[in-house]
Amino acid sequence: MRQVQKKLRIAVLYGGRSAEREISIRTGEQIIKHLDRKKYQVVPSEIPVRGNDWISRLMRNKPDVALLALHGPKLTHLIQKTALQIHSLTGARGVTRSDFILRDSTPYFLELNTIPGMTETSLAPQSAEKVGIHFGKLLDTLIELAQK
């Protein structure tokens, strides 16, 4: 007699009222599309927009963004080393993104994003794809790691 394994319920939260709402929606849709329905019961959960959206107004001013690749190997190494230390100190696991800003060539840590963009065109899935890990497999791996 074959035992039927219960599917893991995966809630995909997306939307909200941040300036990245549209990105969040696209990310959510991509994750929902690529989750293995044989393994997971997918529960899409769009977070509605509510209240005053001050972040969107702020983002319309298009603040400067520092890209590591533009600042040379020494500064890139310092930022990478700092990001790894922060990742370790906070006990973060899995795929993360550390945001920094530069002022007079000095990097300042802003935040550790433990849920970076996960569309097929986001950096984490693209990086995984470069080493042969397809998007669906990346999602499987992240779910397995989260269960440990």
Q: Which amino acid is at 142?
A: L
Report yes or no on whether pTM surpasses 0.75.
no
Domains in the chain, CATH or no CATH each: 8-68 (3.40.50.20), 74-147 (3.30.470.20)
What 3-state class would DSSP assign to 57?
helix
**110: enclosing H helix or E strand:** strand 106-113
**pLDDT-based confidence at 63, cuts 50/70/90?**
very low
> pLDDT tens-digit profile of 85-117?
999 999 988 888 888 877 777 888 989 888 777
Would you state the structure tokens that stand for residue 67, as one six-digit string? 């890209």
Angle, vertex CA 142, rays to CA 41 and CA 68, nearest 5: 135
**pLDDT-based confidence at 137, cuts 50/70/90?**
very high
